Amino acid sequence: MKKTEQNILSIIEDHYPKMSKSHKAIATYIKEHYDQAVFMTAAKLGEATGISESTVVRFAAGLGFEGYPEFQEALALWVKNKLNSVQRIGVKYGNSTQSEVVNEVLAADMEKIRDTIDNLDPIAFEAAVQTIIDAKNVYILGVRSCEPLAEFLGFYLNMIRGNVYNLKTTSTSELFEQMIRISEEDVFIGISFPRYSMRTLKAMEFANDRNAKVISITDTVHSPMCLYSSCNLFARSDMVSIVDSLVAPLSLINALVVSLCLKCPDEIKNNLEMLESAWNNYQVYLNDEINFIKDVPILDNSLTRGDE
């Protein structure tokens, strides 16, 4: 059984008799204030208990975890099962002012980006970039809150290369219809974060069975999305709210797009020139853009005035 699947308080209880005085103080605080400790970094937990950050990290290691993030993940999983979403929001932000909520949410997002940077596998990232470049067709799927991530990635991939397909569906059978021609020459990119999408997982399984290259963009090695992917890109996404924090995943996708652009600058230049020509020839931006002249917004409808 994985550590993240065990009752974290049971693990602490098992180790408690052999703990040092400082570790027992940390354990006691967590047992009494688990609903607050789950949101604390190692530094914050150390500050709350009057113990150094390094001691908190050693405490997590002493419980058998690879590091503090894994320990915090196990604690978060236990708390998630114990409290509902509304209760978790109340625990985290109940006594905060609006400005404090903004600061805490943004700080949490920055921490997730930092954790994503620290744990990103550069070899997997480079492999993902090359796989997308080499693929004949690119299929992208993200459902529910992950759909905007898939749309963002698909939008920019279309500017970089052709044969990019954003899969849209509300049923697994429709997914297979859109993917029926996927083959070993293609790549499938599945994007899913807790709560994981079974439709995305089934689509990844189908792509894998058809010998397509499969890339997952998900949160951890424990994600079920890793079952059928040969290349995994991880980004932190957890958030105590009704909505998920997708800032780190979006930053990761942004980095993926930028890397792809740097790999094929000539294609980008040609594609953008063709788009610019099409926009100009077909007046795409007619009445759709605002120009600023001397700080005053002016609607650009000059062509319409010329027709009057």
pLDDT grade, residue 81 (50/70/90)?
A: low
Is 106 a residue whose pLDDT tops 70?
A: yes
- Asked if 136 and 113 sit in the same domain, the reply is no
What is the model's pTM?
0.60
What is the pLDDT, as a whole number, of residue 86? Answer: 44
What is the pLDDT, as a whole number, of residue 87? Answer: 46
What is the pLDDT, as a whole number, of residue 299? Answer: 46
Q: Of the ranges 98-107, 144-153, 193-202, which is most confident?
A: 144-153
- Asked if 37 and 172 sit in the same domain, the reply is no
Residue ending a domain, choose from 65, 95, 118: 118
What is the pLDDT, as a whole number, of residue 285? Answer: 55
The single-letter DSSP state of residue 136 is S
Residue ending a domain, choose from 69, 86, 118: 118
Q: How far is CA 280 from the centre of its chain?
A: 36
- Asked if 205 and 152 sit in the same domain, the reply is yes
Residue ending a domain, choose from 230, 245, 263: 263
- Asked if 133 and 243 sit in the same domain, the reply is yes
pLDDT grade, residue 82 (50/70/90)?
A: low
Average pLDDT over all residues of the chain: 80
Measured between alpha carbons, how far is 112 from 260 in angstroms, rounded to an integer? 23
Measured between alpha carbons, how far is 23 from 236 in angstroms, rounded to an integer? 27
**pLDDT above 90 coverage of the chain, percent:** 33
Task: Tell me, letter by letter, the H, E, C secondary structure of 81-110.
Answer: HHCCHHHHHHHHHCCCCHHHHHHHHHHHHH
Q: For residue 33, give the CATH number of its domain.
A: 1.10.10.10
Residues 6 or more apart whose CB falls under 8 angstroms from that of 282 comprise none
* Residue 155 structural domain: 120-263
The DSSP H or E segment spanning 286 is: none
Q: For residue 240, give the CATH number of its domain.
A: 3.40.50.10490
Q: Total structural domains in the chain? A: 3
- Asked if 251 and 291 sit in the same domain, the reply is no
> Which one, of 196, 227, 224, lies nearest residue 214 by Cα?
227
Instruction: State pLDDT tens for residues 193-251.
Output: 877 888 899 999 999 999 999 999 998 888 888 889 989 999 887 644 445 678 889 99
Measured between alpha carbons, how far is 306 from 308 in angstroms, rounded to an integer? 6
Is 172 a residue whose pLDDT tops 50?
A: yes
Instruction: State pLDDT tens for residues 188-208.
Output: 999 998 778 888 999 999 999
